[in-house]
Amino acid sequence: MDNQEKQHKRRVRYKGTHPRNYKEKYKELNPEKYQDTIEKVIRKGSTPAGMHISICVNEILDFLQIQPGQTGLDATLGYGGHTQAMLKCLNGKGHMYALDVDPIEMKKTKERLENLGYGEEILSIRHLNFADMDQLLPESGQFDFAMADLGVSSMQIDNPERGFSYKFDGPLDLRLNPKKGISATERIRDISLPELEGMLIENSDEPYAAQIAKAIISERRKHPVETTLALQHIIEKALSFIPEKERKEAVKKSCARTFQALRIDVNSEFEVLEAFLEKLPAMLKSGGRVAILTFHSGEDRLVKKSFKQFYKEGVYKEISTEVIRPSAKECSMNSRAKSTKMRWAIRA
């Protein structure tokens, strides 16, 4: 053989019980092979890398009352946990449709569910934004039940290459579909100061919107804001006036809110949600049920307003008057469940 043969590269050793570096978490990224590691991480109240723990599964199933032979829609496939739970209720009879805007995670989930025995005969997965779900109607007909989980999946948050979190260094992207639209870096490059401040207030109720927006625009004039940690450092600097004792927590919360505001903006999440809610009644059969999970006040307000309006018009015969929350036990096992609110409606 050629002496120039490539030297074999050893895999990075798994450091400790929960390594910090995403690429070193190879055990968590292989749940089929390292189930004991996955269970340990979940018991600690964390979400394993590359996975997503579905929220309010029991509450959703209790409300939807799925029967074998029905047709259902998961408008936000993600890791496929809700879809899988709903498929089990169908017991091999009927059909599920599932949509996802993220081509990267959709492909992995499709393969995972196929390996569990859920092929095209019972599950149709489409690369489609849920705002365009009416494109399904000629194929699917109206649905007996539907659900949407409006949260960003843990797989997206935890992967530094996607740029969804200030906790890991990576490109400041934040697009759910990285092949479409503009990244957060490009958005920051062209946005005006008043528009940026307004975005932070409207999309995430950021109390320090003025200071953060001013700091971002000031930094942008020197060089592009291209990484997640670069944005975190700008926010940290902008909030240096906060007393030291309170600063760490304030920076953490403002970082989370700023990333949320940018993510909502680059993915047009409010506009997309409004389109989805407007089209939803036409997608449901008479008596059809829908459950929606929201994760921040902006989303919840839109869902509540839409449900109330259609109820007043007689389009929905019943809607939830109070939000349903995950149990304390679920929140202790999955910290990402804490901000979840569930609302439901039944078609007239």
Alpha-carbon distances, residue 182 vs 45, 66, 124, 156, 189 (angstroms): 34, 39, 29, 17, 11
Name the pLDDT band for 199 (thresholds 50, 70, 90): very high
To 5 degrees, how large is the angle CA 315–CA 320–CA 325?
Answer: 145
Is 50 exceeded by the pLDDT of residue 26?
no
For residue 121, pLDDT over 80 is answered with yes
Does 254 share its domain with 276? Answer: no
Alpha-helical runs (H) found in the chain: 35-43, 57-64, 81-90, 103-115, 137-140, 154-158, 184-190, 193-204, 209-222, 228-238, 244-266, 269-283, 297-312, 328-333
Closest CA relative to residue 49, chosen from 70, 74, 22, 72? 22
Answer whether 142's CB lies under 8 Å from 284's CB. yes
Average pLDDT over residues 146-154: 84
Q: Is residue 170 part of a domain?
A: no
Q: Do 262 and 275 have their domain in common?
A: no
The domain boundary, picked from 220, 248, 266, lies at: 266
Q: Please give the average per-residue pLDDT across 33-55, as a whole number.
A: 58
- Residues 63, 127, single domain; the answer is yes
Looking at the domain assignment, is residue 25 inside a domain?
yes
Q: Which of 266, 281, 312 corresponds to the end of one domain?
A: 266
User: Do 79 and 210 fall within a single domain?
Assistant: no
Average pLDDT of span 50-72: 89
Look at the chain and report how many structural domains it folds into: 3
Q: In this structure, is residue 92 part of a structural domain? A: yes
293 and 252 in a common domain: no
What pLDDT sits at residue 305? 97
Helix 81-90 × helix 57-64 angle, to 10°: 40
pLDDT cut 70: percent of the chain above it: 82
Whether the predicted pLDDT of 128 surpasses 90: yes
Same domain, 143 and 284: yes
Mean pLDDT of 191-202: 95
Q: Is residue 166 domain-resident?
A: no
Domain boundary among 266, 293, 311: 266
Pair 106, 243 in one domain: no
Residue 129 pLDDT class (50, 70, 90 cuts)? very high
CA distances from 175 to 96, 129, 314 (A): 26, 13, 37
When pLDDT is cut at 50, 70 and 90, the band that residue 6 belongs to is very low
Task: Kindly report, residue by residue over 159-192, the tens digit of the pLDDT.
Answer: 667 767 777 788 999 888 888 899 999 999 999 9
Claim to verify: residue 90 and residue 109 sit in the same structural domain: yes
Domain boundaries, position 78: 57-153+270-347
pLDDT at 44 (0 to 100):
54
- What is the predicted pLDDT for the residue at 246? 95
Is residue 160 assigned to a domain?
no
- Mean pLDDT over 140-150 rounds to 96
> Does residue 104 share a domain with residue 249?
no
222-271 confidence digits (pLDDT tens):
999 999 999 999 999 999 999 999 999 999 999 999 999 999 999 999 99
User: How does residue 3 score in pLDDT terms, banded at 50, 70 and 90?
Assistant: very low
Residue-by-residue DSSP string for 230-243: HHHHHHHHHTTTS-
The answer to whether 246 and 280 have CB atoms below 8 angstroms apart is: no
The CA-CA-CA angle for residues 111, 158, 238, to 5°, reads 150
142 belongs to a structural domain: yes
176 belongs to a structural domain: no
Report yes or no on 67 lying in a domain. Answer: yes
Do residues 329 and 303 both lie within one domain?
A: yes
How many whole angstroms separate alpha carbon 290 and alpha carbon 71?
12
The CATH number linked to 226 is: 1.10.150
200 & 251 share domain? yes
Per-residue model confidence (pLDDT) at position 159:
67
Residues 258 and 279 in one domain: no
The pLDDT value recorded for residue 46 is: 52
Q: How many other CB atoms are there within 10 angstroms of residue 4's CB atom?
A: 6
- C-alpha 17/C-alpha 219 separation (Å) is 38
Between 277 and 14, whose confidence is greater?
Answer: 277
Q: Is the dihedral of CA 25, 29, 32, 35 positive or negative?
A: positive
Q: Which pTM value belongs to this model? A: 0.82
Q: What percent of the chain has pLDDT over 90?
A: 66
pLDDT of residue 176: 86
pLDDT tens digits, 271-330? 999 999 999 999 999 999 999 999 988 899 999 999 999 999 999 999 999 999 999 888
Determine the pLDDT at residue 284. 98
| Residue 29 banded pLDDT, cuts 50, 70, 90 | low
